[in-house]
């Protein structure tokens, strides 16, 4: 019930958000004045409050079941690295994304989970999450990245291409350096 009410408030807020306010957010973001990007090499490195806030973001963007799935993955020994973007107050998580070495080959990496808080979309946070993950893959001497997504546009702008579209509409995308 509370979640539903929060969703309604968020929708109302978005409805009232003026293009002017959006432009201010965009300029502040571009000036990189207030947004902090954190990188965690595994979930064990992460403070508990960051984990909790990440789960809240997943719940806000998706739903309770997906948030539970995300939370369970903390304990599953999945070798994810996490990129997290904090808001201007350094307290709220406005975006998160994951990456991991694929196991297919030493230089192949995978992108997983990527999302941005609804009120902060369209100002480049999604692209920043991709840029940051690609930077990390390069630091690891990775040469190829795989990702499965329905939002091909989100990765095409980072040099990915679609190599196959599955029956359910998911695209297998690759990027090579």
Ligand X SMILES: CC(C)(COP(=O)(O)OP(=O)(O)OC[C@H]1O[C@@H](n2cnc3c(N)ncnc32)[C@H](O)[C@@H]1OP(=O)(O)O)[C@@H](O)C(=O)NCCC(=O)NCCS
Q: Which stretch binds ligand X (CB under 6 A): 5-13, 49-57, 81-89, 120-128?
A: 120-128
The size of the interface with ligand X (CB under 6 A), counted in residues, is: 15
Contacts of 124 (CB under 8 A, 6+ apart): 26, 29, 30
Which residues between 48 and 67 bind ligand X (CB under 6 A)? 61
Q: Which stretch binds ligand X (CB under 6 A): 64-72, 80-88, 114-122, 159-167?
A: 114-122
Q: Which stretch binds ligand X (CB under 6 A): 3-11, 65-73, 77-85, 116-124?
A: 116-124
Q: Which stretch binds ligand X (CB under 6 A): 1-9, 75-83, 98-106, 151-159?
A: 151-159
Q: Does 115 bind ligand X (CB under 6 A)?
A: yes
Q: Does 127 bind ligand X (CB under 6 A)?
A: yes
Two structure tokens written together for 22: 């959006």
d(Cα 139, Cα 133) in Å, to the nearest integer? 10
* Phi (first) and psi of residue 121, to 5 degrees: -80, 155
Contacts of 30 (CB under 8 A, 6+ apart): 124
Which residues between 71 and 110 bind ligand X (CB under 6 A)? none
Burial of 71 (0-12, 13-18, 19+ CB in 10 A): middle
Of the two residues 71 and 154, which places its CB atom closer to ligand X in the complex?
154
Q: Does 114 bind ligand X (CB under 6 A)?
A: yes
Q: How far is CA 1 from the centre of its chain?
A: 26
Burial of 14 (0-12, 13-18, 19+ CB in 10 A): exposed
Of the two residues 62 and 177, which places its CB atom closer to ligand X in the complex?
62
What is the torsional sign of CA 6, 97, 170, 161?
Answer: positive
Exactly one of 151, 166, 172, 177 binds ligand X (CB under 6 A); that residue is 151
Of the two residues 42 and 119, which places its CB atom closer to ligand X in the complex?
119
Binding site for ligand X (CB under 6 A): 61, 114-116, 121-127, 149, 151, 153-154
């Amino acid at each position: 019930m509370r979640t539903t009410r929060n969703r309604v408030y968020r929708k109302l807020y978005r409805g009232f958000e003026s293009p002017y306010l959006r432009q201010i957010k965009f300029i502040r973001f571009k000036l990189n004045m207030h947004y902090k990007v954190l990188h965690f090499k595994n979930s064990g490195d992460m403070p508990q409050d960051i984990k909790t806030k990440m789960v809240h973001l997943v719940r806000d963007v998706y739903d309770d079941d997906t948030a539970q799935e995300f939370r369970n993955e903390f304990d599953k020994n999945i070798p994810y690295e996490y990129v997290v973007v904090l808001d201007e107050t350094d307290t709220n998580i406005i975006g998160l994304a994951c990456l991991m070495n694929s196991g297919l080959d030493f230089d192949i990496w995978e992108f997983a989970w990527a999302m941005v808080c609804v009120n902060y979309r369209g100002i480049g946070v999604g692209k920043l999450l991709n840029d940051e993950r690609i930077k990390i893959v390069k630091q690891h001497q990775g040469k190829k990245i795989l990702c499965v997504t329905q939002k091909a546009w989100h990765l095409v702008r980072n040099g990915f291409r679609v190599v196959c579209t599955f029956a359910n509409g998911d695209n297998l995308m690759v990027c090579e350096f």
